[in-house]
Copies of this chain bind each other. A is one copy, B any other.
Amino acid sequence: MTSETADLALQQLRNTIDNIDTALVCLLAERFKTTQTVGELKAQYQLPASDPEREAQQVARLRQLAENAQLDPDFAERFFSFVVSEVIAHHKRIASSLETD
């Protein structure tokens, strides 16, 4: 492969990455809308912001899905922890805003 062909190949791969990232951002937006509603329900019924049993089930499921999809299961778990820590921070903010209202 010449250096020019490599540049073209790199550009095409980057276009694919950009398309995948667009889809990821849209899915994350929908995920946060859904967890926002969960947070409101939890705050209204005074349920705890985090639920370790549910989280353990999600981790096990996502690790299996990752393996089937040829994604490193450890990465999938780190990704999940990253998203969940953000969600829990949101839930706590929702709960404290209800307390002060």
A residues with a Cβ closer than 8 A to B are 1, 3, 6, 9-10, 13-14, 16-18, 20-35, 37-38, 41-42, 44-45, 54, 58, 61-62, 65-66, 69-72, 75-76, 78-80, 82-83, 86
Q: How far is the CA of A58 from the CA of B30 in the complex (A)?
A: 21
Indicate how many identical chains form the complex.
2
Residues A66 and B16 in contact, CB atoms below 8 Å apart? no
Which of B1, B24, B28, B34 contacts A16, CB < 8 Å? B34
Residues A31 and B20 in contact, CB atoms below 8 Å apart? yes
Q: How far is the CA of A30 from the CA of B16 in the complex (A)?
A: 9
Specify which chain B residues have a CB less than 8 angstroms from the CB of A38 in the assembled complex: 10, 13-14, 17
